[in-house]
């Protein structure tokens, strides 16, 4: 069982609201990731971080931003939510072992619905 947590699990908000999705892990992993997943579709990487104060945009263009002030914490923020942001957001982390077999451990996800 991976020690990676996401809150909230479900969120329903109105258009234009600012929201922050929380992600934390207690495994001491240096790398963390945010993915977006729509039903029946593949995961798309939207942000990743190699370590503290390191953040990069992923493959899928996203209006969200992230920060990495502490190793264990990688929150994602939407300044002004829109219905097009409705999706499932998955946070993941991977460890210091590095190399070719580094496995990503996923959190339970946040299901976001923007009305």
Partner 1 sequence: KNQVEQSPQSLIILEGKNCTLQCNYTVSPFSNLRWYKQDTGRGPVSLTIMTFSENTKSNGRYTATLDADTKQSSLHITASQLSDSASYICVVSDRGSTLGRLYFGRGTQLTVWP
Closest approach, Cβ 69 to partner 1, in A, equals 21
Whole-angstrom Cα Rg for the chain: 14
Question: Among 11-19, 45-53, 60-68, 79-87, which window interacts with partner 1 (CB under 8 A)?
Answer: 45-53
Binding-site string for partner 1 from residue 47 to residue 66, where x marks contact by CB under 8 A and - marks none: -x-x----------------
What is the residue whose two structure tokens read 């409705």?
86
The single-letter DSSP state of residue 28 is: -
Strands 54-57 and 44-51 turn out to be antiparallel
Closest approach, Cβ 58 to partner 1, in A, equals 10
Secondary structure percentages of the chain, helix, strand, coil, to 5: 5, 50, 50
Instruction: Among 40, 61, 70, 97, indicate the residue that binds partner 1 (CB under 8 A).
Output: 40
Closest approach, Cβ 93 to partner 1, in A, equals 11
Query: What part of residues 68-107 is at the interface with partner 1 (CB under 8 A)?
Result: 90-92, 100-107
Query: Which pair of structure tokens corresponds to residue 73?
Result: 């914490």
Using CB under 8 A as the binding rule, whether residue 14 contacts partner 1 is answered as: no
Comparing C-alpha atoms, which of 36, 28, 88, 90 is closest to residue 61? 36
Chain positions contacting partner 1, by CB under 8 A? 2, 4, 31, 40-45, 48, 50, 90-92, 100-109, 111
């Amino acid at each position: 069982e991976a020690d990676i947590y996401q809150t909230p699990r479900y969120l329903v908000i109105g258009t234009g609201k600012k929201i922050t999705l929380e992600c934390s892990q207690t495994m001491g992993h240096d790398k963390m990731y945010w993915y977006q997943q729509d039903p029946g579709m593949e995961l798309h990487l939207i942000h990743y971080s190699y370590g503290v104060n390191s953040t990069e945009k992923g493959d899928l263009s996203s209006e969200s931003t992230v920060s990495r002030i502490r190793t264990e914490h990688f929150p994602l923020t939407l300044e002004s939510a829109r219905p097009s942001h409705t999706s499932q957001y998955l946070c993941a982390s991977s460890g210091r072992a590095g190399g070719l077999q580094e496995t990503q451990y996923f959190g339970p996800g946040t299901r976001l619905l923007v009305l």
